[in-house]
Amino acid sequence: LPPRRSVPVVFGDVRPYPLADLALGRTTFPAAPLPPGMSSPAAAVDDDPATAWRPGPNGRLVVDLGAVAAVSAVELAWTPGRRPSASIETSTDGVTYRTAGTGPARYVAVRTGWRDGDASLVRISVRT
């Protein structure tokens, strides 16, 4: 380009960074081996709407945010179908958890009462 000339560049279907979602791309637990009936929890933080975490009976996933953050909201997006009961737990140390969706947290857990035929978790979003 000649000096002092600008050209707009547009990327379709791309979101600008940094993203407000602290869970996106983070480490999830359990890793391997997975409990019977459970798929990889990483599917809930991979930003791919075509993948989803199947909890299995009474499933629980944990997302490590990498550092303690002031969590203001946790959002869950499910596949179509019957949604299982779910609760949000948070922890600053990964050992002691409390039932809460807000406050200081490094670890955010989703505990479900999943039963065969229930929906799967497409996305967990953690916001400050």
Give me the pLDDT at residue 9, please: 77
Give me the pLDDT at residue 84, please: 95
The pLDDT tens digits of the residues spanning 42-86 come to 999 999 999 999 999 989 999 999 999 999 999 999 999 999 999
| Residue range 123-128: mean pLDDT, rounded | 95
> Is pLDDT of 22 > 90?
yes
CATH of residue 101's domain is 2.60.120.260
> Is pLDDT of 127 > 90?
yes
In Å, what is the CA distance from 110 to each residue of 6, 21, 116? Answer: 47, 16, 18
Give me the pLDDT at residue 15, please: 63
Q: What does the alpha-carbon distance between residue 77 and residue 80 come to, in Å, rounded to a whole number? A: 10
The pLDDT tens digits of the residues spanning 82-122 come to 999 999 999 999 999 999 878 999 999 999 999 999 999 99
Has residue 122 been placed in a domain?
A: yes
- Residue 114: CB atoms within 10 A of its CB come to 25
Whether the upstream peptide bond of residue 30 has omega within 30° of 0, thus cis, is yes
Has residue 45 been placed in a domain?
A: yes
Has residue 1 been placed in a domain?
A: no
pTM comes to 0.85
Please tell me the total count of domains within the chain. Answer: 1
Find the domain containing 114 and state its range. Answer: 27-127
**Confidence band for 1, pLDDT divided at 50, 70 and 90:** low
